[in-house]
Structures are given as C-alpha cells and as structure tokens.
Amino acid sequence: MKNFITNLNQNINLIPLAVNLLLVILITLTMVLPTQAQNHVFTDKEVVKMDSLFQVYEQQDSLQKIEIKLLNKQILNYKILTNQDSLQIMYLNQNVTLLNQRIDLYIDLTKELEPKWYKKPTFQFILGAATIVTSSWVVSNIK
C-alpha cells in the first residue's frame, strides 16, 4: 500500500511536466505551420479543381441532408402505422370477444326456446293417445 501511494505521488508530479511539454510542442507547431503555408501558392487549375470538389461535396451534403429528412419522415410514418395497426388489432380483439359473447347468448337463447320435456312431439303423441283411450273407455263405461 505504501508503494502504491509513493508511485501515485510520483505520477502526480509527472502530470504538470507532461502538460508543459505538450503546451510547448503545440506552440511551436502553431508558429512553424503558418510560415510553411504562406510559402505554398496554388495554381489556377488547382483552385478550380478544389472549387469543383467543394461544390460536389456541398451538393452531396445537401442531398444527404434531404435524404435524412425523408428517412426521418418515413420512420415517423412507420411509427404512426404501427400505432394504427395496434389500435386495429385491439378493436378486432374486442370484436372477437363481443362475437363470442353473442354466440354464448344465442346458445342460451336456443336452450330457453327448446321445447320442454312435456312439449316434445313424442310425449304429446303418447299423451293424446292416452287421452283418447281414457275418454273412450269412460264413454263406453258410462252407457
């Protein structure tokens, strides 16, 4: 731990030295570079070529900006479309739920409208036959 602290103190002492060295290098470069740039003269062809390159790059940049705007609009439209799709899916799910409830209600209605056991044709036939037989028996016994 003691070695770590001494190494840290030494590194902290080296930081101002590195900053000063970097500052000296930057100052010298700023003094040397402008004098070299002043000595170079561009020819008319080089200037025309650089100008045409700048114009091409500016045009490409403006086209890319337009394309970026269009793509952002397209992304926005896709987000709106997904929201609309999710709403439509939600409404379709509600529709399915309501239709299932309607089916259940129709099933309950048919159960209610089904004839009861005493209203079925076979039972009514047997009951009618029994009534006729009983009434004929009563009539024949009354004489």
Cα separation, 81 vs 66, in Å, equals: 22
3-class DSSP state for residue 131? helix
pLDDT at 86: 97
pLDDT at 8: 47
For residues 83-102, give the mean pLDDT: 97
pLDDT tens profile 15-60:
666 666 777 777 777 766 655 556 667 788 888 888 898 898 899 9
Cβ proximity of 133 and 127 under 8 Å: no
Tokens of 85: 């799709």
Cα separation, 133 vs 129, in Å, equals: 6
Tokens of 82: 């997904």
Q: Looking at the whole model, is its pTM more than 0.75?
A: no
Tokens of 97: 């739920």
For residues 49-77, give the mean pLDDT: 93
Is the model more confident about 51 or about 97?
Answer: 97
Where in the chain are the domains?
Answer: 1-40, 42-116
pLDDT at 117: 67
